[in-house]
Amino acid sequence: MEPGKKVIIRQNPHHPGAENIVGTVTVFRPGEGFAGCDLVDVHYENPRDGKGYTMPFGMSCLGPADAGSLIALAEYYEIMAAKLRELATAASSSK
């Protein structure tokens, strides 16, 4: 977990709803968390308010931002966007 490395925030205890987003490692703090767990400070932009935050995360909250994970995340959002477009089309045609 080197500074500057990209990670996917899978679970965000600081901002519910800001999960499955990409952040950047700022500091790795081995053994500084509860019961000696490693902490990783990650900078990210909260999609709900557009503001940037740097918060500590346990390793279990983060995932790799490798090519496969990023493509899978993009596909997830593309499917979600397509479903929302369908709902919008149905809503506008039912008026």
Q: What is the pLDDT along the chain (95 residues), one digit of tens a residue?
A: 899 999 999 999 999 999 999 999 999 999 998 889 999 999 999 999 999 999 999 999 999 999 999 999 999 999 999 999 999 999 988 76
The 8 Å CB, 24+ separation contacts for 14-19 are: 14/53, 14/55, 15/46, 15/48, 15/53, 15/55, 17/47, 17/48, 18/44, 18/46, 18/47, 18/48
Q: Residue 74, exposed/middle/buried by CB under 10 A (0-12, 13-18, 19+)?
A: exposed
pTM of the model: 0.85
The predicted pLDDT at position 93 comes to: 86
